[in-house]
Structure 1
């Protein structure tokens, strides 16, 4: 960010971006900033999607198991596990797009910018959906725990 003159980096823009923004950002970053983005920021961001996908998939499974929603393998709740995996895949595809654009700069193409921006949007929308689902599951688990304790106390 110190090279970008206050402009947000692409992987930090949940609503996407256009060709003009990418061109202005990469110009603002300069040669050193683009190289820093490519060699420092992106490699670190290649670890996060795997950790996000696996850990949140397992966390969601743990809470759904506590709610007895995973008694059968064909439970419709099994599809919720896909959401953090979608986040991870979209993040990897976004990173690959950013790498491609950084390496091809100044010859940016509209299609590479739009495709990478689409993966940024998919990543942010699926991340939001996941956390909404997680909050709903946690609230449901909390209410179930309270009800279970009330039933024990009234016996």
Structure 2
């Protein structure tokens, strides 16, 4: 179990990788972001993308899945007060494999709730070529290590 005390500025944590299939791109987009370059091959080919691409929101959902599975489920997470910034830097295409990393920017013990602290971090996902496709800066609340767990 990871607690607030287990994080420090500059720390990087590998959060694994995931593949992106064409059917996942189209299924997500049909339900949540049905723009033509996400759901229609011909329209996507004629667009400035030159082919089918994942919705940015789908990319964020994939990133979130990696965060939950490889960090939050093994930590004393108390949720998040929000996301400060998301940047979609490159399109995500069918067949891409995304690798996710977390970098701790700052840690702040809570003054009003001594059982927790806030971690400011940046999540970054890279495609299989090593190019950064998305960045997300967030705040996360994590529980302090209980005295009996020390």
**TM norm structure 2:** 0.26
More helix by share: 1
**TM norm structure 1:** 0.26
Q: Which has the larger radius of gyration?
A: 1
More strand by share: 2
